[in-house]
């Protein structure tokens, strides 16, 4: 049956519906899903009523709909499940207003299309910041929908900890506020946390109340160099188990550092490294914390420790960390990429890093190990030619090892289409209850169908 796009145009206004092939292609792909599966149209919401109208149109014509934030997610979260079924993409990027900032309450109210950098720009004169920083400049709606995290999560938490309340539009058109903008509540079932990480399968996020944090008075950023990735992982564990209040603790292997040097013109020593940062309100506290971290790193075999001397050097170091994916992609033109996202209990982390490193060597793969080691979460980014099954063997091996160590196959990217096959192994009988939750909120299975459950 033809999809009545003209009716949707009449409903929303012509400038809010696109069928341009390049726009469609950009809404049906991501960095690690192998195919592009364009939706039949893209509808742009500019206000909550547009979301309500689009969902009513989808219900009437039984057209599945995939919410779209900034399009930076992985695992096929935005890619239609069945390439032969027409699907609408609902783009929220035009809902990009910071509605209010309450510095006295450490809270901001934002529309879902506000990006993390736009929010931090709006906050720049307040002495406050929003900490969650996935590598891409993602939207806050998309970040909540994937329970995103980043380099500062080890200290400040990820999206679940930093989202106080949500406004959502359900498939049936109901608008709900989930949670209250307070730091704690014991009231009722926590539906806010059910929606965080739900990847647009339960409802469309139309507003978020997010938590803000004071910018630290004192910041120290270190680059600690190790002879092996295993020594770097052991040092990361020592730092975490000493209960030091580290604000960022990131691992980059030699391959990642070499790629950064070429891509960004840096001259970092080409060896595995930890990028570490401390935030504190007093100089005495931060000096003591840094001294202990340096001692622990040396005990684990660190061969060089460099401290950023200025804000510019700090920014440059974290810019390098945030660009590492693109640096690796740039190092292997004409390849495709696969990315792992395992997270394990902290004490198991060095063992999983060791297993990952050995397996990369055994399979002779061009892969780089890096990630948020303070949270026990790391990625392997593997360049490969289409049809090379060694990368899939590696991914399967690593995911199974992570599960066997009591961990998860996805610390932050989400399940999407690519990791659905691990859901039963990870959740057992709880998966059936997740399916029942999905059916309760979306009985016609119209919201991002085929994802997660
Ligand atoms: C180079 C690179 C580095 C990355 N690094 C990290 C990292 O460090 N940490 C991390 O967590 N992720 C990382 N990611 C993944 C990505 O940035 C995150 O998943 C991010 O949260 C996606 O946000 P988005 O706005 O791009 O969402 P999109 O990609 O647009 O959407 C993601 C999912 O959320 C749903 N969705 C979007 N908006 C809404 C809404 N308003 N309501 C309901 N559902 C919605 C979509 O349907 C989709 O299922 C990285 C990606 C890249 C390309």
Number of domains in the chain: 3
List per-residue pLDDT tens for the chain, 453 residues long: 789 999 999 999 999 999 999 999 999 999 989 899 999 999 999 999 999 999 999 999 999 999 999 999 999 999 999 999 999 999 999 999 999 999 999 999 999 999 999 999 999 999 999 999 998 999 999 999 999 999 999 999 999 999 999 999 999 999 999 999 999 999 999 999 999 999 999 999 999 999 999 999 999 999 999 999 999 999 999 999 999 999 999 999 999 999 999 999 999 999 999 999 999 999 999 999 999 999 999 999 999 999 999 999 999 999 999 999 999 999 998 898 899 999 999 999 999 999 999 999 999 999 999 999 999 999 999 999 888 899 999 999 999 999 999 999 999 999 999 999 999 999 999 999 999 999 999 999 999 999 999
Contact (Cβ atoms closer than 8 angstroms) between residue 131 and residue 152: yes
Q: What is the pLDDT of residues 243-275, one digit of tens each?
A: 999 999 999 999 999 999 999 999 999 999 999
| CATH code for the domain in which residue 124 is found | 3.30.465.10
237 and 385 within one domain? yes
Q: What pLDDT, on the 0 to 100 scale, is given for residue 2?
A: 85
Query: Do 145 and 223 share a domain, yes or no?
Result: no
Dihedral angle computed from the Cα positions of residues 54, 57, 62 and 66, in that order, rounded to the nearest 10 degrees: -10
Task: Report which ligand 1 atom has the smallest distance to the Cα of 139.
Answer: 25
What the block records as the tokens of 388 is 């090379």
Instruction: Judge contact between 171 and 55, C-beta under 8 A.
Output: yes
Closest CA to 325 of 384, 381, 366: 381
Candidate of 134, 205, 263 to mutate for ligand 1, largest count of ligand atoms within 8 Å of Cβ: 134
pTM, two decimals, is 0.97
Asked if residue 427 belongs to a domain, the reply is no
Give the three-state DSSP class for 251.
strand
Q: How far is CA 149 from CA 19, 76, 144, in A?
A: 33, 18, 9
Which of 28, 148, 202, 452 best tests ligand 1's pocket when mutated (most atoms within 8 Å of CB)?
Answer: 148
- The reported pLDDT for the residue numbered 305 is 98
Q: Which atom of ligand 1 is nearest to the CA of 74?
A: 15
CATH number at residue 15: 3.30.43.10
Q: Are residues 23 and 108 in the same domain?
A: no
- At 247 the pLDDT is 98
Answer with the one of 91, 106, 133 that is the final residue of a domain: 91
Q: Which residue has the least CA distance to atom 12 on ligand 1?
A: 134
C-alpha pair distances (Å), 189 with each of 151, 178, 186, 351, 391: 30, 10, 8, 37, 41
Return the structure tokens found at 210.
């997010």
336, containing H or E segment? strand 336-339
In a domain, 34, yes or no: yes
Q: How far is the CA of 135 from the centre of ligand 1 (A)?
A: 10
Q: What is the pLDDT of residue 394?
A: 97
Q: Which residue, 4, 97, 92, 114, is CA-closest to 43?
A: 92
Pocket probe for ligand 1: among 30, 142, 160, the residue whose CB has the most ligand atoms within 8 Å is 142
CA 389 – ligand 1 centroid, Å: 27
Ligand 1 first shell, C-beta below 6 A: 31, 66-74, 77-78, 92, 112, 134-136, 138-139, 141-143, 145-146, 148-150, 199-200, 204-205, 325, 412-413, 448
DSSP state of 421: G
From the CB of residue 353, how many other CB atoms can be counted at a distance below 10 Å? Answer: 27
Q: Which of 68, 91, 114 is the last residue of a domain?
A: 91
* Full domain range(s) for residue 140: 98-214
CA of 413 to the centre of ligand 1 (A): 7
């Amino acid at each position: 049956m033809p999809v009545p796009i003209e009716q949707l145009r009449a409903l929303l206004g012509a400038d809010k519906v696109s069928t341009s092939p390049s726009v469609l292609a950009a809404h049906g792909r991501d960095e690690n899903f192998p195919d592009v599966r364009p939706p039949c149209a893209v509808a742009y919401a500019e206000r909550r009523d547009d979301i309500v109208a689009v969902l009513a149109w989808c219900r009437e014509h039984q057209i599945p709909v995939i919410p779209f934030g900034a399009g930076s997610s992985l695992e096929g979260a935005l890619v239609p499940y069945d390439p032969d079924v027409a699907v609408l993409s609902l783009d929220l990027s035009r809902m990009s207003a910071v509605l209010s900032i309450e510095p006295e309450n450490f809270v901001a109210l934002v529309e879902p299309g506000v990006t993390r950098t736009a929010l931090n720009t709006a906050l720049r004169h307040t002495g406050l910041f929003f900490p969650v920083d996935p590598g891409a400049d993602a939207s806050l709606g998309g970040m909540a929908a994937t329970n995103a995290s980043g380099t500062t999560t080890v200290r400040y938490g990820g999206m679940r900890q930093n989202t106080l309340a949500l406004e959502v539009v359900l498939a049936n058109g109901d608008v709900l506020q989930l949670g209250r903008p307070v730091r704690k509540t014991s009231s009722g079932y926590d539906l806010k946390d059910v929606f965080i990480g739900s990847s647009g399968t339960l409802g469309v996020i139309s507003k978020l109340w997010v938590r803000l944090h004071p910018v630290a008075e004192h910041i120290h950023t270190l680059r600690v160099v190790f002879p092996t990735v295993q020594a770097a992982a052991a040092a990361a564990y020592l730092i975490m188990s000493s209960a030091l209040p580290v604000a960022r603790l990131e691992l980059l292997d030699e391959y990642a550092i070499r790629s950064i040097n070429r891509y960004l013109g840096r001259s970092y020593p080409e060896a595995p490294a930890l990028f570490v940062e401390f935030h504190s309100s007093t100089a005495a506290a931060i000096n003591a914390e840094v001294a202990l971290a340096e001692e622990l790193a040396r005990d684990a075999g660190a061969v060089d420790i460099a401290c950023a001397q200025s804000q510019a050097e700090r920014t440059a170091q974290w810019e390098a960390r945030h660009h590492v994916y693109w640096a690796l992609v740039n190092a292997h033109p004409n390849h495709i990429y696969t990315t792992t996202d395992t997270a394990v209990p902290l004490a198991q982390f060095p063992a999983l890093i060791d297993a990952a490193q050995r397996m990369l060597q055994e399979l002779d793969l061009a892969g780089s190990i890096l990630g948020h080691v303070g949270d026990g979460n790391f990625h392997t980014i593997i360049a490969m030619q289409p049809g090379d099954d060694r990368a899939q063997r590696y991914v399967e091996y690593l995911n199974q090892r992570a599960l066997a160590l009591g961990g998860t196959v996805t610390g932050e990217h989400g399940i999407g289409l690519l990791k659905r096959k691990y859901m039963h192994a990870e959740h057992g009988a709880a998966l059936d209850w997740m399916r029942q939750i999905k059916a309760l909120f979306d009985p016609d299975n119209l919201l991002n169908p085929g994802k997660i459950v």
